Chain A
Amino acid sequence: MNSNVWLLTFADAISIATTLILASLGAMITERSGVINLGVEGYLLMGAVTAFVVGDSTGQLWLALGSSIVVGAAMALVHATLTVTLRANQIVSGLAMVIFGTGLSQFIGKPIEGKSRPVIIEKIDFGVLSDLPIIGPVIFGHDPITYATWVLALVISLYLHRTRPGLILRATGDAPATVDAQGVSVKRIRYVHTVIGGALMGLGGGWYMFARAAAWNQSATTNGIGWIALALVVFASWRPLRAIAGAVLFGFCLQVPFTLQGQQINILPSEIVSMFPYLMTLVVLVALSTPRARRLLGAPKMLGQPFVRDER
Chain B
Amino acid sequence: MNLYNIGQEGQLYLGMVGGAWAGIALAPHLNQFIAVPVVLVTGALFGAVWVLVPALLRARMGTSEIVSTLLLNYVALNLINYFIYGSRGFFRDPSTPFPQGRPISESARFDSFGTTNTYPTLIISIMLAAFLFWFVRRSNYGYETSVYADSPQTARYAGMNSIWLTTSVLLVSGALAGLGGAMYVVGPAGKVDPGLLQTGLGYAGIVVAALARYNFVAVIITAVLFAGLRVGGSALQASSDPVPIAIAVVLQGAVLLFALGGEIFRRNRVVVTRVVQNVKVSV
Interface residues of A (CB under 8 A from B): 38, 78, 81-82, 86-89, 91-93, 95-104, 106-107, 110, 219, 223-224, 227-228, 230-231, 234, 269-272, 274-275, 278-279, 281-282, 285-286, 289-290, 294
Determine the chain B residues whose CB is within 8 A of the CB of A103 once the complex forms.
246-253
Within 8 A of A (CB), among B190-207: 198, 200, 203-204, 206-207
Determine the chain B residues whose CB is within 8 A of the CB of A99 once the complex forms.
200, 203-204, 206-207, 249, 252-253, 256
Cα of A4 to Cα of B62 in the assembled complex, Å:
41
Cα of A281 to Cα of B261 in the assembled complex, Å:
33
Cα of A155 to Cα of B81 in the assembled complex, Å:
42
Within 8 A of A (CB), among B211-256: 244, 246-254, 256
Cα of A81 to Cα of B260 in the assembled complex, Å:
11
Residue B246 contacts which of A82, A110, A271 (CB distance < 8 angstroms)? A110
In the assembled complex, the CB of A222 is this many whole angstroms from the nearest CB of chain B, namely: 11
In the assembled complex, the CB of A58 is this many whole angstroms from the nearest CB of chain B, namely: 23
A107 touches B61 (CB 8 A): no
Residue A278 contacts which of B72, B85, B244, B264 (CB distance < 8 angstroms)? B72
In the assembled complex, the CB of A219 is this many whole angstroms from the nearest CB of chain B, namely: 7
Interface residues of B (CB under 8 A from A): 4, 6, 57, 61-64, 66-68, 70-75, 78-79, 81-82, 85-87, 198, 200, 203-204, 206-207, 210, 244, 246-254, 256-257, 260-261, 263-264, 267
In the assembled complex, the CB of B65 is this many whole angstroms from the nearest CB of chain A, namely: 10
Cα of A224 to Cα of B73 in the assembled complex, Å:
9
Cα of A279 to Cα of B76 in the assembled complex, Å:
11
B71 touches A227 (CB 8 A): yes
Top 7 A-B pairs, shortest CB-CB distance: A100-B253, A103-B249, A106-B246, A271-B82, A103-B250, A110-B244, A107-B246
B61 touches A275 (CB 8 A): no
B207 touches A96 (CB 8 A): yes
A282 touches B71 (CB 8 A): yes
Cα of A230 to Cα of B207 in the assembled complex, Å:
21
